A and B are shown apart, each in its own frame.
Chain A
């Protein structure tokens, strides 16, 4: 299996601020690799180093076999990049934008550009000025622009932020299809259900790499079990439980409390809710979000 991205103790300092420190990871070719972490965790900084927009302060890295410091030009020819701040010209139409990027990359195959456009369902809006499109259509156009030159690697920085579920699904579906065609995808997100669509994940917190693995591995590694409580009135129940277990969280009107280890706390929960109507108390596997919060906070407290 060949490797698309490697980093070795890669780090970036802004003044005294350590934005990313000692990140060592490997992304395989054809893999959908997710960088997850709270805002400010260093995901974008890491991506910008890989793409040559930032010079690393420490460490090394390669992208598609090229050194991220010396071979920036070669890397740029081969990757498609979708920045977090929307990168298309909002006063140009979708087609003008696509043509511009195709020209910049020297793409003469207009049929391919057309196929990218229709794969992302942009035919109907192709003449419209990008600034007037819905967020979903805008993000799909940005993705199309990042794909016009058949990149070997696509780097997507929060591609689905502010996007409706349908458009979000079409973006992820395309990423999956690209991966099956051998295109590696490096995607950042802090939406956990999306993270579960990645082959592998790297969890960043405060600039450090906290954990890597498949979504399932990260969930098991969190060592959590979650108590799902359905009680009435739920507001009161939540207030009581949160006082005792601050990590308790609301999912609709149900309350999830993650515990490391077994179900020993069941009695304590029943005790706490005495006087309220406890409709059900079940034990669940943690969601990606539960695991994420647990893993991020263990690291932060260390």
Chain B
């Protein structure tokens, strides 16, 4: 396992984490505004879990530790052991802000933890542990999270001009609890020279202490209209004298860096920005954009040169015209390639994260793992690539944590001590298939079934097939891990994996053999992938067969094709009998060649199954940029997508597996 520079993925992690925090914030705000949608809690939890996982992978221990506590709290909410109230959402929102700051500091190579984060972490820990200690008193505990608040309020000079009046604020605060003015002082904004003092300006600041179980939200409501008109720092008051250390930390956090403007505007901005959901943007390096602009420039030069020739053309310039056209062709091809390169990236960029992850897991769990990566050059649409990372991390973690056994167990089972974990990506039947296989113990069916019964997913005494049992692990909240670790967490992995993959229009399945290991298969649509295709002619239509699935093309004599019972046709190919699918019949093309000896049989393979496709003629090879039919129409069976051919018309790309199924069905019918 060579040293992989993980820092190249830091940027992605930060970006993804910030997106996750945005999602968390949006969901928290929705919860705060009274929504009871359970999915929101899941969203928050998943986001926290992903950040934790990512932070642990990259060795950002402080961030991981902080998120772990927050996640534990969220787990209680998710399992409905803790009610959601303003105090809680507020605490979590502050955690989100704190995590943002921590990530920011991490990105700047500064220590992530600071006094604020430590205090907040202590608060979270206290809430989680306090809950365990005194479960029945939970409702009361969350309703009265603090004994009071320390408020540092410094008016901006223009405060009075905005119609705000400190006295009114104090009165409102008094209605919330007992207000004590610790200190009133002159703010830094006051001019040193008394003559310069403007009596219409306010140069005052106050340190206040509010006693009583006041929710942070109520406090924020009081200061809501003072956005930008004051400097505000609100710190919770320590509950007991024994924890007097916390207020000691407060002066530190009221230093200018920690003086926060009123929290309300930040929230509003987040709420406004959070409505968009998943943005459709991709991240492109500026160098690639520059390259595009360069090429665009060349294209413009070529175009003006051709224009020049065209203006007063005579035959003597024929050679120059040819040159110009050749140059145009080259420019266009280069431009096309660069545009494609923006979207397509080899999956290796995702796979490269894993050696480090596997090494850390080995060390942590005392297991030995041999990681094999295959098909790293398989190109994937960048959007797909970005979103497939998290599911893969989950699957790899799970495979090592749950799948592979300890060396001693492996030896006892007659297997090599080091388990093998294989990540493999390849094209298959109009899809990109990523397989994660281990040679571990396989899924523990008894335990999964028992857990399924315990969770009420399966009725006791109900018989389930192996596949149905395997399906259970994809249920939300399902986990057989007895202990919550920061490795595989709490079984969120599988339902997150399935959800993420489905969002990409793909599917995930698992095959497991007890004692031999399990294989998770993720099938992803090609969306914008480019394939090499063979253009075939059927009647008056053209269909593109992916080159990768073609075994051979051959012309068969008339008597080579035999009818078998039920009307199907087969022919012998390298010692085995393969079904013939007449593409014109499957697709209903008019005026196609019906006689086998006049057409061409293209032998294709999908998932190990071979079939022969009868077409009229082979036209040639072409690189096809796959366009989705679903975008504006619907999925069509036997067709994996469409592409634009050289004359500007649309040609359909044959989905080999789908056509084979189509052939089987029409035979059955």
Please indicate whether A and B come from the same complex rather than being unrelated chains: no
B residues touching A (Cβ–Cβ < 8 Å)?
none
